[in-house]
Structure 1
Amino acid sequence: MKRTIRTTALTVGALIAALGLQAGSAHAETTAPRIDLRVLLVSDGGPATDAIAAELDTAGTPYTKVDLTQAGRPTIDAAFLADTVDGRPRAKYQAVVLPNDNPFAAGSAEMTALADYERTYAVPQVDAYTYARPEAGLQYPVYGGYSGSLDGVQAQVTAAGEAGPFGYLKGAVPFEDNSPTVGESYAYLSTPVAGADFTPYVQAPIPGTTKQGSLVGEYRHDGRRELVVTFVYNQYQEQFRLLSRGIVEWMTGGVHLGAARNYFAVHVDDVFAADDRWDTKLNCTPGDVDCTNDEGTPSPIRMTPADVDHATAWQSSHHFTFDLVYNGAGSVDQRSDNNGVDQLADKLVADRNQFRWVNHTYTHAFLGCEQNTTVVPWTCETNPDGSTKWVSRSAIDNEIAINRVWGHLNGLPLDDDELVTGEHSGLKILPQQPQDNPNLAPALADNGVKWLASDNSRDPEQRVVGPATTVSRYPMNVFYNAGTASEEADEYNWIYTSRAQGGSGICEDNPATTTCLPAPLDTSTGYQDYIVPLETRIDLGHVLANDPKPHFIHQSNLTEDRLAYPVLDGVLDGYDALFTDSTPLVNLRMKDIGTELQRRATWRTAVQNGQVTAYRIGATVTVQAPAGIAATATMPTGTTQSGHAFGTAYAGATSGWTTTTGGTLTLTLPSTAASTAPSTTAHHKAPAATRPAPHAKVPAGVTEQVPYTPDN
């Protein structure tokens, strides 16, 4: 299918146009000022500026933070903002982020310096969350607008927003409403002041009227450009995550260091094995040390050939690939117990090229300390001298190597660099095992393992274990020991209800990390009505946060009631409803996720340590970084590096990693991008950035009004 990629207009174009220069001309390159690719973020400690800072951090975009609440902060004046380098004027920041349209006292010399700087260098300003008022190009909300909650409201990107910085969205911007008792959003909805050069990019209906009020819009006045945001948010809310890319692209003109994509990968653990089933009468799982049942054990859960057909058909319809994390002994045992027959393994091996495959060890053995399971919770066995008894290096070697051999004999398309140990064992597990098994790293070296899975809930930071680097995986809250929706809801009730409600009381004992349900779920409807929407929202939140870490479920979730699919459908279908084809989900295998995380960590360290400098002069972008480091940047489509196309297309731009040559990377912007002033595609007014700010009557009682932050 042919896809149309939109590109936003660039701030460099505004600068060149303002100086009366032609992009690409020798005269332009010799007289244009240097614009450093760094953002100035002025914070008042509120959630809006913190959210933008988090977005820049995650993408790897350099910024300087000035905290207005700190007494020893630097003064923002002309010298702080600009100087001269090699005889060329230098703007130290390509964009300015303020907590609102003017966070300084009346008559502030700092705001005057900022306004002069923005005019001189055509630097845009983001008002992270401001009250709707004429100084921001909007009418006071009391004049036919609205001030209040937007919980559950669906905002909409305007035609100008789609043609401009938010072109990666299909249009809908839903505002969260996760609790009927908690205010989650607050906004000022208003229309532009008469005569203001204001273009709404995102709007929502004004209650009680037929009008739309602006939530995000561009205000051009007095030779300056502002992105005016009139709703409060934090970095975790879906509405911000949907719009954050456009905010960054608007303020940088699509030319900045750092990059962001939307990722989703799903590992299916225990393939070929069977998972124990939750006992709804005993409220435990047979096989656990604290679960005994004299009346018999519920049947284990194992996929069937029909489940494989369903998985391959689902993948095809969703353009998605599972990573099957397998234990070969599961099939060997099945054949041993059934006269050599294992129809599931036969089907999976026949369809092996429909999936990616990862070694999960042969028997799923615990590879940390030797466990004493006669007590609850289990403890590590100890030697006579009190030291820990560890699973041996040879035992770990066998679990890795035998499973690998089994996989290769069956033609599985493995990558031998990758490993997921059973229960992520061998790595530290608090509180029982506060350190890695010292035999794990040598065994990984013996087997050439370079990427080792860890549990994000226990070990979220990427770290080195011998020759391997960890890749943290998000556990999805779809239980491994439930094959049906009623079993899932029953176990969920046990974990998340109080003792008085018949639950375990875990939520009462751990209120800081676990929230009790107000009442037990209906086991016939609770999974679909409560658990699925909650887990979908959590997982989609990871996707929208530029987070490549994989999620993991179990083979039991793909059989019987096939519990995983409603959540996965919610994530993928929900994503498709929000984003255009130019912004596809990125579905990587484990080693590629590990490489992405590793590169980010190296880049982030270099940026934070001041080892990266980047600037733009006319249509030329220069990045200076430690030699050999992989640099990441986002540029307009058509940008070249040494005459070749830079990066890959994503969300209407081009971005990617590239290694600097001798510590320097030079990029050339396309002439069309460098010569087009911002916002010319968004509206057809005459160039009006020099218009003065309009005046409007100030209504009684609002002269001192400041942005409102709900207590959530």
Structure 2
Amino acid sequence: MKRTSRTTALAMGALLLGLGCPAAPATAAAGPAVPRVDLRVLVVTDGGPATTAVAAELDGAGTPYTLVDLTRADRPVIDAEFLADTAGDRPRARFQAVVLPDDAPFAAGSGEMAALVSYERTYGIPQVDAYTYARPEAGLAHPVHGGYAGPVDGLRAEVTAAGKAGPFGYLDGTVPFEDNSPTVSESYAFLSRPVAGADFTPYVDAPLPGRPGRGVLVGEYRHDGRRELVVTFAYNQHQQQFRLLARGIVDWMTDRTRLGTSRNYFAVHVDDVFAADDRWDTALNCTPGDVDCTPGTGTPNPIRMTEADVRYATSWSRERGFTLDMAFNGGGSVEYREEHGGADPTADRLVADRDAFRWINHTYDHPYLGCEQDVSTVPWKCATHPDGTTRYVGRDEIDRQIAANRSWAERAGLPLRTGELVTGEHSGLRLLPQQPEDNPHLAPSLTGQGIAWLGADNSRDPGQRRVGSALTVARHPVNIFYNAGRVAEQVDEYNWIYTSRAQGGSGLCEELATTTCLDAPLDPAIGYTGHIVPLETRVALGHVLAGDPRPHFIHQSNLAEERIGYPVLDGVLTRYAELFAADTPLVNLPMGAIGAELRDRTAWRDALRAGTVTAYRIGGTVTVAAPVDVPVAATVPAGTRDGDAPFGEPYAGTASGRAGTGPDGALSLTLPGSPAPVTTAPVAAVPAAPVAPAPAAPVPAGVARPVPYGTER
């Protein structure tokens, strides 16, 4: 369909639908035009974690905002000229929403607060009080009058009926507050009831600790021609309670009409399929056959999925409605058949069930494709030429590993996406400290083999970058080890890595500042289910709730023997289903689509930072100007149209997605229920009554400095 490049925004709308612009009686006579409201948020911060969290949510979605830091002497003054001006003969509101640290962060009688109040009234601009004391000025009774003020670690809040019908309808109901440490205060809240007679709608509430009744945590206060979203609990951008509510906070302030998109993603890659993984030796504290054991130490005892393991994986995937990505090494099956009289029931079953999974080229034999490894010492080092330069695996071998695995897959009938590749151990890419640069033969090989997407390790190489024809797709490692097929092996190795030398461990955590030691070794009987599984579930779910599309990876060994990978995967899927409504599903993308999402996010954010994107709303029409080669990211009400076609895809009660602009770089979206074009009379500014600054609200240690999940990698 050819997109019209005609911009209809200048002729649309009697009302700023949903933005709450007060409308005077419409007239056909000449008069002020319907205001233009720019799709940009004003975030006023005091440097605290609450406004930082809201800004992080806007950053993550690609929603533009202007930050005014009250702690900076050189900050702009928030006055009428800063907030509004004209565009042609049309009044322009420069911000569609205002985020403040609390309900009144300025001194009493402040001209800046007066300017904000007048601006919000005139243009119907909503205000978010990021974290405020419960008080009558915010529509709530003081907590001392039958409420509660104090720690709320482990609290189970609920979305009210109004919240479900409104901005938090994407949640299933429960909003659990984290309690990661018994010794650190992680959350603090003021739970209170609305003041008698106040026009206040609770959206999220919780039982009052130690007394009957419930108190508000999030609610909408309408007063004096203004709308405020009042939030009365402390949080930072990483905490689960904020991550669950962040989408609704932004939906509320933007009336679900904004630039940027946000979805919850989860993909799991299973590496080394068809091959075998070496096993951790609990006596030697290393892995015979791999580079952490000196040559000749111990006896290799490999782990490999059986036919029964494959049947279980197939059944699990279908019952869960979740597709695993199998990163495979065809040479592993060839080697197994050679050693077992031509039979490989595991491979036969995987091929028979091939449509239950997605398939990624993981090279034919899984060799290390970076520098040539000198494994005579632990840790290994790069082999060198006589002149001291690094010896690298050659291009011919890299080409062979990619092409031979493709050929094997074609013969087996696997539905392989040929542009995706994960090298063994992400080799070929730089690896500190041994190999600080990519193998110089890697990029030309990827280009020659037509590779578009290359897997990388997010713990070492998180940013997307170009290597030859390929863009990297960083993958989150799940801390379930490749060399463990049984719980006892996993816990033993975990204790070895994460305990001090005095406790019998490696002491690695004492040497690396980014690694946290365990207080004591995990109990072999309960350490896996009691510590590792909950921790890894929480970490992975944290990535999901942050809208991070990057995949997670485990190994085929974790689906073999005691199948220790499934408890974490089940934990993420079950917990997600408990938290979110059916219209907000997990998005399970293949590797290439994840890479494209990361690429498009980068292009969009670069355009926003360069100032080459503008967007505004006039009545029922949104107009966006952007570079023609950058797809516009937007979230709008369901039923919004791009020309004659629906815009985006449904998600979380909205429509969201990306669309190209016309040849002139413009995109025009028509919001549902847009009225016929008319004009409005001006809205008179109302002087603001003096507002006392909000009392300082406590910020617990676990908010000011987030409580770590546990071991860091």
Once the two structures are TM-superposed, the CA of residue 705 in structure 1 deviates from its matched residue by: 3.2
Residue equivalent to 1:419:
421
After TM superposition, give the deviation of residue 299 of structure 1 in Å: 2.3
Once the two structures are superposed, what CA deviation does each residue of 1:617-670 show, in whole Å capped at 9, x if it has no partner? 000100001123101100001100112111000000000011111210000001
Following TM superposition, by how much is the alpha carbon of 1:289 offset from its aligned partner in structure 2, in angstroms?
Answer: 3.9
Match of 1:123 in 2: 125
User: Are the counterparts in 2 of residues 480 and 556 from structure 1 also a CA contact under 8 Å?
Assistant: yes
Contact map agreement 2:104 2:694 (CA 8 A) in 1: no
Give the Å deviation of 1:420: 0.1
Distance in 1 between residues matched to 2:542 and 2:151, nearest whole Å: 21
Are 2:698 and 1:708 equivalent residues in the alignment?
Answer: yes
The 1:405–1:21 alpha-carbon spacing in structure 2 relative to 1, beyond 3 Å, is: farther
Give, as a single letter, the amino acid of the residue that structure 1 aligns with 2:529: Q
Q: Does 1:525 align with 2:529?
A: no
SS class of match (2:615): strand
**AA aligned opposite 2:544:** V
**In 1, are the aligned partners of 2:20 and 2:124 still within 8 Å (CA)?**
no
CA positional deviation for 1:372:
1.2
**How big is the shift at 1:245?**
0.2
Counterpart code for 2:127? Q
1:13 is the counterpart of 2:17: yes
Inter-CA distance 409–403: structure 2 relative to 1 (3 Å threshold): same
- Aligned residue type for 1:41: V
How many angstroms apart in 2 are the aligned matches of 1:395 and 1:86? 64
Structure-1 separation of matches of 2:634 and 2:297: 63
Shift in alpha-carbon separation, 1:73–1:694, aligned structure 2, 3 A? closer
Query: Does the alignment pair 1:633 with 2:623?
Result: no
Return the match for 1:395 from 397, 417, 422. 397
Going from structure 1 to structure 2, the CA distance change for 1:341 and 1:36 (only over 3 Å counts) comes to same
- CA–CA distance in structure 1, aligned partners of residues 631 and 298 of structure 2: 58
Q: Which residue of 2 aligns with 1:154?
A: 156
Match of 1:679 in 2: none
Distance 1:502-1:92 versus aligned 2 partners, 3 A rule: same
- Following the alignment from structure 2 to structure 1, what is the Cα–Cα distance between the partners of residues 326 and 454? 15
Change in Cα spacing, 1:281 to 1:229, as seen in structure 2 (3 Å) is same
Answering whether residue 461 of structure 2 is matched by residue 447 of structure 1, we say no
Q: How many residues align structurally?
A: 680
Q: Judging changes above 3 Å, is the alpha-carbon distance between structure 1 residues 92 and 295 closer, same or farther for their aligned structure 2 residues?
A: closer
State how far apart, in whole Å, the 1-side matches of 2:212 and 2:31 are: 50
2:256 aligned to which of 248, 254, 257: 254
Deviation of residue 385 (structure 1)?
A: 2.0
The within-5 A match list for 1:39-58 is 39-58=41-60
CA 1:243 to 1:107, structure 2 compared with 1: closer, same or farther past 3 Å?
Answer: same
Going from structure 1 to structure 2, the CA distance change for 1:11 and 1:471 (only over 3 Å counts) comes to: farther
Q: 1:376 to 1:215 in 2, by over 3 A?
A: same
TM-score, normalised to structure 1, is 0.93
For 2:71 and 2:168, the matched residues in 1 are separated by 32
Contact kept? 2:49, 2:237, Cα under 8 Å: yes
Q: Write the mapping of 1:269-288 to structure 2, written as runs, cut at 5 A.
A: 269-288=271-290
**Does structure 2 conserve the Cα–Cα contact (< 8 Å) formed by 1:35 and 1:92?**
yes
- 1:406 and 1:50, CA in 2 relative to 1: closer, same or farther beyond 3 A? same
Please give the alpha-carbon distance, in whole angstroms, between the structure 2 residues aligned to 1:624 and 1:483: 54
Does structure 2 retain, via aligned residues, the 8 Å contact 1:639–1:645? yes
AA aligned to 1:13 is L
- The alpha-carbon distance between structure 1 residues 365 and 293, as it changes in their structure 2 partners (threshold 3 A), is closer
- Give the direction of change, closer, same or farther, for the CA distance of 1:298–1:432 in structure 2 (3 Å limit): closer
Partner of residue 474, structure 1:
476
Contact 2:133 2:694 in 1 (8 A): no
Q: Is the 8 A contact 1:137 1:693 kept in 2?
A: no
Equivalent in the alignment of 1:537: 538
Give the alignment of 1:556-705 within 5 angstroms. 556-662=557-663, 663-671=665-673, 705=695
* Distance in structure 2 (CA, Å) of the matches to 1:106 and 1:693: 10
Matches within 5 A, 1:179-218: 179-218=181-220
Q: One-letter code of the match for 1:506?
A: L
Which residue matches 1:267? 269
Deviation for aligned residue 1:674: 11
Q: SS at the partner of 1:417?
A: strand
The 3 A distance-change label for structure 1 pair 14 and 558 is closer
Q: 1:141 aligns with which of 128, 139, 143?
A: 143
Contact 2:258 2:636 in 1 (8 A): yes
Q: CA deviation at 1:312?
A: 1.2
Q: What is the CA–CA distance in structure 2 between the aligned matches of 1:619 and 1:277, rounded to whole Å?
A: 62
- Measured against aligned partners, the alpha-carbon deviations of 1:559-596 in whole angstroms (never above 9, x if no partner) come to 11111110001100000000011000000000000000
Q: Which residue of 2 is the match for residue 682 of structure 1?
A: none
Residue 331 of structure 2 corresponds to 329
1:481-529 residue CA offsets vs partner (Å, 9 max, x unmatched):
011111111111111111111111111122x211111111111221111
Where does residue 176 of structure 1 map in the other structure? 178
Task: Provide the rounded CA distance (Å) in 2 between the counterparts of 1:535 and 1:589.
Answer: 22
Could you tell me whether the CA contact under 8 Å between 1:136 and 1:228 is conserved in 2? yes
The 8 Å contact of residues 19 and 254 in structure 2, kept in 1 or not, is answered as no
Show structure 1 runs of 5+ residues with no match. 1-9, 676-689
User: Which residue of structure 2 aligns with residue 36 of structure 1?
Assistant: 38
Counterparts of 1:672 and 1:202, CA distance in 2: 31
Letter in 2 for 1:427: L
TM-score normalised by structure 2 residue count? 0.92
Q: Shift of residue 672 of structure 1?
A: 6.9
Measured in 1, the distance between the counterparts of 2:222 and 2:274 equals 62
From the superposition, tell whether residues 647 and 119 of structure 1 become closer, same or farther in structure 2 (CA, over 3 Å).
same
Aligned partners of 1:608 and 1:661: how far apart in 2? 22
Secondary structure of residue in 2 paired with 1:307 = helix
Distance 1:371 1:280 in 2: 25
Range 30-39 or range 175-184, more displaced: 30-39
- After the TM superposition, which parts of structure 1 deviate over 4 Å for at least 4 consecutive aligned residues? 14-17, 25-30, 292-296, 672-675, 692-695
Question: Alignment identity in percent?
Answer: 65
2:5: which partner in 1? none
Pair 1:259–1:674, CA change in 2 (3 A): farther
Give the Cα separation in 1 of the matches to 2:340 and 2:694: 79
Structure 1 residue identity aligned to 2:363: T
Q: CA deviation at 1:79?
A: 0.2
Letter in 2 for 1:277: R
Instruction: Call closer, same or farther: CA 1:16–1:532 in 2, change over 3 Å.
Output: closer
Give the aligned partner of residue 233 of structure 1.
Answer: 235
Q: Alpha-carbon deviation of 1:28?
A: 12
Which amino acid in the other structure matches residue 16 of structure 2? Answer: V
What does residue 555 of structure 2 align with?
554
Question: 2:369 aligned to 359, 367, 370, which one?
Answer: 367
Maintained 8 Å contact 1:16/1:32: no
Asked if structure 1 preserves the Cα contact closer than 8 Å seen for 2:102 and 2:694, the reply is no
Shift of 1:32: 1.3
Structure 2 match to 1:487: 489
- The amino acid that maps onto 2:521 is P
Task: Tell me the alpha carbon deviations over residues 308-351 of structure 1, each in whole angstroms, 9 at most, x when there is no partner.
Answer: 11111111111100000000110000000011000001100111
Distance 1:15 1:275, change over 3 A: closer
Shift of 1:472: 0.2
CA spacing shift, 1:674–1:150, aligned 2, 3 Å: farther
Deviation at 1:17, TM superposition (A): 6.1
Please say if residues 222 and 693 of structure 1, whose CA atoms lie closer than 8 Å, have aligned partners that are also in contact.
Answer: no
Contact (CA 8 Å) 2:363, 2:424: kept in 1 or not?
Answer: yes
Gaps of 5+ in 2: 1-13, 678-685, 703-713
Whether the 8 Å contact between 2:294 and 2:377 is mirrored in structure 1 is no
Given the superposition, is the C-alpha separation of residues 433 and 350 from structure 1 closer, same or farther in structure 2, using an over 3 Å criterion? same
Equivalent position to 1:314, from 313, 316, 321: 316
CA contact (8 A) 1:198 1:218 kept: yes
Contact 1:140–1:190, Cα closer than 8 Å, also in 2: yes
1:685: which partner in 2? none
SS at match of 2:701: coil
Q: CA RMSD in A?
A: 2.2
Report the Cα offset of residue 288 of structure 1. Answer: 3.0
Rate the CA distance shift 1:661–1:599 in 2: closer, same or farther, 3 A: same
